[in-house]
């Protein structure tokens, strides 16, 4: 029998609130009208606090990778050198983008699940003074690990070096302080904590990044951010046909975030992440990123005797609970549970309960219910603190 309902806990795409779905189901607006211009302006303005910036946020009809590409081709020119941190599939993607556009990439390799060390960045910058930019993830989705963006920014601000940050699984999950930290380019995407389907990328540049890009004659065509900035900021429209329904949905999702408040959103993500980690520990499982775990997605290492792909299939096809396995060499070894966006702490109990059932079915021996109880206990701690504070 097929599951009657499905519950989405993937690292992306994530669940979409019904209010946002209804907003996107409205009769479509023409994109060259005052009505759409007002929505576009409001959505771009509402994005700024999530990215921690007063700079203009540019919306692009693309996946998050399109935002990463826009960052690369606008700030760097062919032949220029950049340092990229490869600590997972998406760090690896920075290197592939550099290669695709004729830049020279200096790779800083980091073990999956680990955060890059500042000494690695500093020594590479010292060895290669020609480096013009550092490219990194705030949260590496494939390994569920955080990188020290604020500390890296302190290094790059002392030099004539840009810092480009993939914030696709960090914006809207935990505080991003683009301006205060000194990040030069921040990129995110719609299908994670912004509670939308895939299809939108958001990019913000610092003043010195705009200045650097001004002299770059190889900004491309579709992803030329100067063309988009003029259209979106000056003319209140887009340079090309936008994803109208997604932008309307974005404005609604940002309204929901405003109503909840960013502090409450960040606290909710923190509690869900800690509850998921506590559940794994309660049944003897370890994390892929134990020292620097991401609050948006938790990576749990399954026992060597278990194939996580089979657990994922059982959870999805029999229980209707969609989680994700590992990528590349972590395939079959890792279970990733996403808790970004439209997820409540109580819903974590569904994901954890399904994980327990899948592991037990594959032969892992433990006391059923221990993981759920551990998650419940962590969630209850927050409820008690909240009640005491009130």
The rounded Cα 31 to chain-centroid distance in angstroms is: 28
C-alpha span between 46 and 48 (Å, rounded): 6
| Domains identified in the chain and CATH numbers | 7-13+261-389 (3.90.1150.10), 31-258 (3.40.640.10)
pLDDT, residue 276, reads 98
Distance CA 168, CA 313 (A): 26
Report the interhelical angle of 262-282 vs 345-361 (nearest 10°): 20
Q: Strand, helix or coil at 52? A: coil
Q: Which residues contact 313 (CB under 8 A, 6 or more apart)?
A: none
Closest CA to 175 of 139, 143, 201, 141: 139
Angle at 102 between CA 99 and CA 107, to 5 degrees: 40
CB atoms within 10 A of CB 389: 6
Per-residue pLDDT of the chain (390 residues; tens, 9 = 90+): 678 899 999 999 999 999 999 999 999 999 999 999 999 999 999 999 999 999 999 999 999 999 999 999 999 999 999 999 999 999 999 999 999 999 999 999 999 999 999 999 999 999 999 999 999 999 999 999 999 999 999 999 999 899 999 999 999 999 999 999 999 999 999 999 999 999 999 999 999 999 999 989 899 999 999 999 999 999 999 999 999 999 999 999 999 999 999 999 999 999 999 999 999 999 999 999 999 999 999 999 999 999 999 999 999 999 999 999 999 999 999 999 999 999 999 999 999 999 999 999 999 999 999 999 999 999 999 865 655 555
Q: What pLDDT sits at residue 383? A: 67
Structure tokens at 37: 């211009």
Structure tokens at 158: 């002392």
Q: Cα separation of 67 and 201, whole Å?
A: 5
Find all residues with CB under 8 Å of 234, minimum gap 6, and list them: none
Q: What pTM value is reported for the model?
A: 0.95
């Amino acid at each position: 029998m097929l599951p009657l309902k499905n519950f989405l806990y993937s690292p992306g795409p994530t669940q979409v609130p019904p209010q946002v779905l209804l907003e996107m189901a409205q009769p479509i607006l023409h994109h060259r009208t005052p009505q759409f211009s007002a929505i576009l302006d409001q959505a771009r303005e509402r994005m700024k606090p999530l990215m921690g910036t007063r700079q203009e946020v540019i919306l692009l009809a693309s996946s998050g990778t399109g935002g990463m590409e826009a960052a690369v081709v606008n700030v760097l020119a062919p032949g220029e050198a950049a340092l990229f941190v490869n600590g997972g599939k998406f760090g690896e993607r920075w290197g592939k983008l550099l290669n695709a556009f004729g830049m020279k990439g200096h790779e800083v390799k980091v073990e999956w699940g680990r955060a890059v060390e500042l000494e690695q960045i500093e020594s590479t910058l010292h060895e290669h003074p020609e480096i013009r930019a550092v490219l990194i993830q705030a949260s590496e989705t494939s390994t569920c690990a955080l990188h020290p963006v604020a500390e890296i920014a302190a290094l790059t601000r002392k030099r004539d070096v840009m810092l480009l940050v993939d914030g696709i699984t960090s914006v809207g999950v935990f505080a991003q302080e683009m301006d205060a930290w000194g990040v030069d380019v921040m990129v995110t995407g719609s299908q994670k904590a912004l509670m939308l389907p895939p299809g939108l990328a958001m990019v913000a540049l610092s003043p010195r990044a705009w200045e650097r890009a001004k002299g770059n004659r190889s900004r491309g065509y579709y992803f030329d951010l100067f063309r988009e900035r003029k259209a979106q900021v000056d003319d209140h429209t887009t340079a090309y046909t936008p994803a109208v329904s997604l932008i309307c949905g974005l404005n609604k999702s940002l309204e929901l975030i405003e109503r909840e408040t960013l502090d409450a959103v960040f606290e909710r993500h923190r509690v869900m992440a800690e509850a998921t980690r506590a559940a794994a520990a309660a049944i003897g499982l370890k994390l892929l990123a134990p020292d620097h775990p991401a609050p948006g997605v938790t990576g749990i290492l399954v026992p060597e005797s278990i194939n996580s792909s089979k657990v994922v299939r059982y959870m999805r096809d029999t229980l209707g609970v969609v989680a994700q396995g590992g990528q590349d060499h972590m395939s079959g070894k890792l279970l990733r549970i996403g808790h970004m966006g439209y997820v409540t702490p109580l819903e974590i109990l569904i994901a954890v309960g399904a994980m327990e059932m899948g592991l037990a079915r594959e032969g892992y021996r433990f006391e059923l219910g221990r993981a759920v109880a551990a998650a419940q206990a962590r969630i209850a701690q927050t409820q008690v603190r909240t009640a005491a504070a009130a």
